[in-house]
Structure 1
Amino acid sequence: MPEQTCACFRGEAKLSGGKLAAITVCLAADPSAPTVPSQPVRIVSCRIDGDFFLEGGAAAATVIDRLERRMEGFAPPIEPGLVERELGQVISAHEGRLIGADAATMTRAFLRALSQGGVQPPETDDRPGPAVGGSGDLLRVADLDVADLSEWRRRWGHLPLRVSVDEPRPPAEQVALDLAMVRAVREGSQPPTLRIWNLTAPTVVIGRFQSLGAEVDQERARELGFTVVRRVTGGGAMFAQPDDVITYSLTVPASFADGLDTASTYRLNDLWLLEGLGRLGFDVGWSGMNDIASRRGKIGGAAQRRLPGGPGEDGGILHHDMLSYRMDADLMLQVLKVSDEKMRDKAVRSARSRVDPLSAQTALGRRQLVTALLEGLPDLAPRARLAPVGGHVVCAARRLAAERFSQAAWTAYIV
C-alpha cells in the first residue's frame, strides 16, 4: 500500500466579546473507500488551540482532548447542527469549564478548517457579532453594584497581604515563579502575595492553549532578541519589553473569591489596580471579561488559574496582569501574528490602533507610577506589608524553570 499523505488545514472562530478558538484538521484519503475520481477523505487528527480559558480540577484540560477525539470521529461533510450539539454534550459532561469559547465557536472553527480542505461547504452565515473594543463597553469601579463593591473591599481589608517588589528575572523564571507562588499559597507556606515583577529580556509570553507557530513569528523574534515562553494560564500572547510594561501577579487562597463567578473574580483581583489608577486620574475600566482599557483602547489583559486544594488545603488562585506603559506597536506586529478573525468584532481598524498605553495619560515615569499605585494600596488592604518573595519559593521556581519553562518542548507543546 502506498504511504498515506495528509494535508492540514486551520480554521478560526471568535466568540463575540470572547476569545479565539482555532482548529487544525489533518485530512487523508480513506483507504477503506473504493477508489473513485473523488475519493472520500477521513479526519486523521484534530488539534485545538486558542486564547480561551479553562477552569476546573486537575483533569479539566482533558475536555480539550475529548473535543479533539470527538471531532476526529466525524465523517465530512457534516451537518453543522449535529457538530454543535455533540460538542456541546462533551463540554457539558466534563468538569472542565471553557471560558471565552463555547460549542458554537468550536463548531465554526472546525467547519471552516474542513471547508478549506474542500470537504465541507463554505458557511453561509458569516455575520460578525456585536463590536466590542476600547470605547463603549467600559465598566468602571464607580459602575459596580454598591453591595458588591462593599463586599469586595471587605475581602481585601481582611487579606494578610505580602507585597513584593521583585527583582528583574529571566522570562522562564518569571513564569515558573508564578506557578511556584500559587502552589506555596495553596499549601500555606506562603501568605497571599502581590508581586510586582519585571523581565531581564524582551519577551513574548504565550497562553496555555495557544499555538506557538500561529501566534509568534519565531524567526523574527529570535532576530530581534525576544525570548518566547509559555505560561500556565489561558489567554492571549503578551508582548513585553522590560521598560515598557508594568506586570504583577496576585496569588491568594481560593476562599478569597468564594461564591463569585469568573468575571467577578477577575474584577475582585484587579480592584487594587483599578482603584489605584482611578485615584491617580486615569480614565480606565474593565472591558470584556479580562481586559483593562480606556475609551481609546486596550491597556492590558489579565489571566488566572485556580489550583484545587488537597486534603486540608484551601486551594489557590493565580491572577496576573501585564499593562502597557509604552508600546512599540510596529515592533509588536513584527513579532506577533494577529489574524483577521481576532480583530473582526473589535471596534477598531487594526491591532496597532487598539493599544492605549498608560504613558498616554500620565507624565509619571514607569517606576514612579508603580510607587504611586503601591502607596495607595493600604486604603484597600490595610494589612498589606512589604516583604521579599520567600527563598523556598524562588528555589522551587528555578527548578521549574530548568525542568519545564526554559525547555523548547514545553514552549511548543499546548498544555
Structure 2
Amino acid sequence: MVAERRHGEYKVPGGKLVVADVAQDGEGDGATLSEVAISGDFFLEPDEALGTINAALVGLPSTASVATMAAAVATAVGDDVAMVGFSPEAVAIAVRRALGHSTSWGDHTFEVIHGAAEVPFMHMALDEVLTQSVGAGTRGPTLRIWEWERTTVVIGSFQSMRNEIDPEGAQRQGVTVTRRVSGGGAMFIQPGNTITYSLSVPASLVDGLSFEQSYAFLDDWVLGALRDPGSTRATCRSTTSPRPRARSPARHRSATPPAPCCTT
C-alpha cells in the first residue's frame, strides 16, 4: 500500500516560501513521518543540508509539536549550516500544515464586516466579543473594518490613563477616550480620516508562531490585501451587520487578539 503524500506550505514573513511534501505510517496518535521532502525558494548552504533536514524529520510522531520538529532540524544541521530566508521553525510549520495540524489562509473562509459608524465603546465591545467567539470556535475567522462616529483616543490595555491623557483637554476638544482589549500605544482617530481594522483568527492559523511572530504574519497578509485586493488567497464573505453576536458563551481568546491598525 502506497502511503498518501500530503502537501503544506508556509511563507515566512519577510522571508521565503517553505514547502513540505510528507507521508506517514499509521494513523492517529501512533502515526510517524515516513517520508519528508522539503523544498522552496530559500537559500541553503551547503546544498547537502537539505537531505539532513529531511532525514531529521523522518520517524518523528506525526503529532509532534512545532518546537519538537524544529529542535530535531536544528540539532541535525548544527551551527555550520546557513539557512537563509527560512528557519527550523518554518520547516516545522510547513510540515504540520501538510499533516493538517496547522492551517493556512486558503483553508479558511473569512467573514468581512463593514458596518455603520459606531460609538467608541461599542467598537471596544465588538472587538472583545468577536475575538472570544473565534477563539471558542463559535464563529469563523473575521476581518472587521471599523467606522467611527466621533473623534476618539484609544489607549492600549496596559497604558496608564493618567500618564497618557489630559482629561480636561480631551473634554474641551470633544474627544472621547476609551481602552481596547489589546496592548500597544495610544491612537488618535478622526471619523473619515482613519483606516481601522481588526483580524480575529483561530489558533491553527498561527500554530507554532510566537505571539510577536503571529502579529507580523497576520499584518503581512492584511497589508498585502490593502495593496492588491485581488492577490490574497483566503475566501471572504461580506456582511453589513454592525452587531454580530456570538452563538454561545466565549470561553477562550483567539491566539492573536485583534490589534487595530490606524493610518491618518
Question: Into which bin does the TM-score normalised by the smaller protein fall?
Answer: 0.5 to 0.7
Taking the TM superposition and a 5 Å limit, the aligned residue runs for 1:217-366 are 217-279=166-228
SS at match of 2:208: coil
- Counterpart of 1:144, as a letter, is G
Residue matched to 1:146: 17
Q: Deviations over 1:3-43 (max 9, x none)?
A: xxxxxxxxxxxxxxxxxxxxxxxxxxxxxxxxxxxxxxxxx
Distance in 1, Cα, partners of 2:166 & 2:125: 23
Which residue of 2 is the match for residue 310 of structure 1?
A: none
Instruction: Return the alpha-carbon distance in structure 2 between the equivalents of residues 382 and 214 of structure 1.
Output: 41
Structure 2 CA distance for aligned equivalents of residues 273 and 257 of structure 1 = 14
Q: How far does the alpha carbon of each residue in 1:154-173 deviate from its partner, in whole angstroms, 9 at most, with x for none?
A: 71111221111122100000
CA 1:143–1:250: 2 relative to 1, 3 Å: closer
Question: Is the Cα contact below 8 Å between 1:177 and 1:394 reproduced in 2?
Answer: no
Counterpart check, 1:387 vs 2:239: yes
The alpha carbon displacement at 1:395 in A equals 11
Question: CA–CA distance in 1 between the matches of 2:245 and 2:157?
Answer: 22
2:130–2:200 Cα contact (<8 Å) kept:
yes
Question: What's the TM-score once normalised by structure 1's chain length?
Answer: 0.35
Percent identity between the two aligned chains: 39
Letter in 2 for 1:384: C
Unaligned runs of 5+ in 1: 1-140, 280-374, 397-415
Which structure's residues are more often helix, by fraction?
1
Structure-2 change in CA distance of 1:232 and 1:172 (3 Å): same
1:199-238 residue CA offsets vs partner (Å, 9 max, x unmatched): 1000000111111111011111111111000111111111
- Determine the structure 2 residue equivalent to 1:210: 159
Contact 2:144 2:198 in 1 (8 A): yes
Is the Cα contact below 8 Å between 2:115 and 2:242 reproduced in 1? no
Distance 1:193 1:167 in 2: 17
Question: For residue 145 of structure 1, what is the amino acid of its counterpart?
Answer: K
Aligned residue number for residue 176 of structure 1: 125
**What amino acid is the match of 1:209?**
F
Spell out, residue by residue over 1:153-193, the C-alpha distance to the aligned partner (whole angstroms, 9 max, x if none).
Answer: x7111122111112210000001100010111122222110
Please give the alpha-carbon distance, in whole angstroms, between the structure 2 residues aligned to 1:164 and 1:218.
Answer: 32
CA distance in 2, matches of 1:168, 1:391: 11
Check 1:143–1:209 CA distance in 2 against 1; reply closer, same or farther (3 A cut). closer
Q: Deviations over 1:300-341 (max 9, x none)?
A: xxxxxxxxxxxxxxxxxxxxxxxxxxxxxxxxxxxxxxxxxx
Are the aligned partners of 1:206 and 1:236 in contact in 2 as well (CA < 8 Å)? yes
Counterpart code for 1:253:
P
* Aligned ranges 1:24-39 → 2 under 5 Å: none
Alignment CA distance shift 1:227-1:271 (3 Å): same
CA pair 240-270 structure 1, distance change in 2 beyond 3 A:
same
Q: Is the 8 A contact 1:190 1:390 kept in 2?
A: no
Cα deviation code 1:106-147 (max 9, x no counterpart): xxxxxxxxxxxxxxxxxxxxxxxxxxxxxxxxxxx9842332
- TM-score norm. by structure 2 comes to 0.53
Q: 1:246 aligns to what SS in structure 2?
A: coil
SS of 1:393 mapped into structure 2: coil
Equivalent pairs counted in the alignment come to: 158
- Name the aligned partner's letter for residue 117 of structure 2: P
Residues 253 and 277 of structure 1, relative CA distance in 2, 3 Å threshold: closer
Once structures 1 and 2 are overlaid, which stretch shifts more, 266-275 or 173-182? 266-275
Residues 208, 230 of structure 1: 8 Å contact kept = yes
Gaps of 5+ in 2: 1-11, 19-85, 98-102, 249-264
Matched position secondary structure for 1:273: helix
What letter corresponds to residue 169 of structure 2 in structure 1? R
Number of the residue aligned with 1:165? 114
Task: Return the alpha-carbon distance in structure 2 between the equivalents of residues 210 and 380 of structure 1.
Answer: 34
1:384 is paired with a residue whose SS is strand
